[in-house]
Amino acid sequence: MKRVQTLTLTLFLSLMVSQAFAWGQLGHYLIGYMAEKQMKKSTKRKVEKILFPMSLGRSGTWMDEIRSDRSYDYATTWHYLNSKNGEYDPSTQEKTGDAYEAIQRIKAELKAGGLDPKTEAEKLKMLIHMVEDIHQPLHVGTGDDRGGNDVKIEFFGQATNLHALWDSGMIDRQGMSYTEIGEELFRRLTPEMREKYRSATMLDWLKEAVSYRPMVYNLPENNKISYQYMYDNYHIAEERMIAASVRLAQILEEIYP
């Protein structure tokens, strides 16, 4: 009986942890993979040297993994922000900070230089993760339902929540590796799309996220989701990951030209 209880607790905790992560490991890996394909060679060399032995794709999951280390509790709220209508209002954010403020601050610190190798690597991994996170629509939340974590749903018969569905559920459902998805999405990136994404401001990023809310929250009355919701919305997740890869490559080139 004790062994069964232990296994049940372990499964419960693993589900809770997986629902707290953003984009899931697959999403972070493939955004980094696509960004790497777009970066200038000089930028890629500098970034690889700082992150070694981690790859750019792998480093995108680091900020989720350090949640188990209490010494990084200060960054717990940096994965998301609140925005009602696409605005950034510091007074509505968590007192310990948010993704919008942290991205700008850490980007400036990395550009200024003078950091020791460990600090620089950690700040760079945080920046990569947050830029990727903020492109998941539910990481720009209303402030009312914890970014969809409180919206309980069934996804192909499995109990989960709306946030977890967008983090990983729909992506994992594809049954493909991050390189397979990354290659498929990279083929769709046109010069016009790249220019559009690169010319946007961070406030534009928030407006983009808010614009998708009607589709994201368009759930059936019984909150049981399957093929129709996937058909209507997975293309949004794909577009968001493409946009994140373009902007991540752009930011890294600005810091490490």
pLDDT tens-digit profile of 145-170? 999 999 999 999 999 999 999 999 99
| Structure confidence at residue 24 (pLDDT) | 86
Least confident of 16-20, 41-45, 160-164, 224-228: 16-20
Distances in whole angstroms, Cα of residue 55 to Cα of each of 44, 100, 127, 194, 206: 10, 24, 14, 23, 28
pLDDT tens-digit profile of 184-215? 999 999 999 999 999 999 999 999 999 999 99
Is pLDDT above 60 for 74?
A: yes
pLDDT tens-digit profile of 78-119? 999 999 999 999 999 999 999 999 999 999 999 999 999 999
C-beta of residue 50 within 8 angstroms of C-beta of residue 252: no
Question: In one letter, which amino acid is 241?
Answer: M
Q: Pairing state of beta strands 81-82 and 140-141?
A: parallel
* 22-255: CATH number: 1.10.575.10
Q: What is the arithmetic mean of pLDDT over 52-68?
A: 94
Rounded (5°) CA angle 167-169-170:
95
Confidence category of residue 21, pLDDT binned at 50, 70, 90: low
Quickly list DSSP for 50-103: HHTTS-HHHHTTHHHHGGG-GGGGGGGGGG-EE-SSS---GGGS-TT--HHHHH
pTM for the model stands at 0.90
Confidence category of residue 35, pLDDT binned at 50, 70, 90: very high
C-beta of residue 148 within 8 angstroms of C-beta of residue 160: no
Task: Determine the longest span between alpha carbons in the chain, in angstroms.
Answer: 60
pLDDT tens-digit profile of 218-246? 999 999 999 999 999 999 999 999 999 99
Nearest Cα to 132, choosing from 22, 254, 256? 22
Question: Cα separation of 117 and 169, whole Å?
Answer: 36
Confidence category of residue 17, pLDDT binned at 50, 70, 90: very low
Q: For the chain, what are the domain ranges? A: 22-255
Question: Cα separation of 126 and 120, whole Å?
Answer: 10
| Coil, strand or helix at 177 | coil
Confidence category of residue 10, pLDDT binned at 50, 70, 90: very low
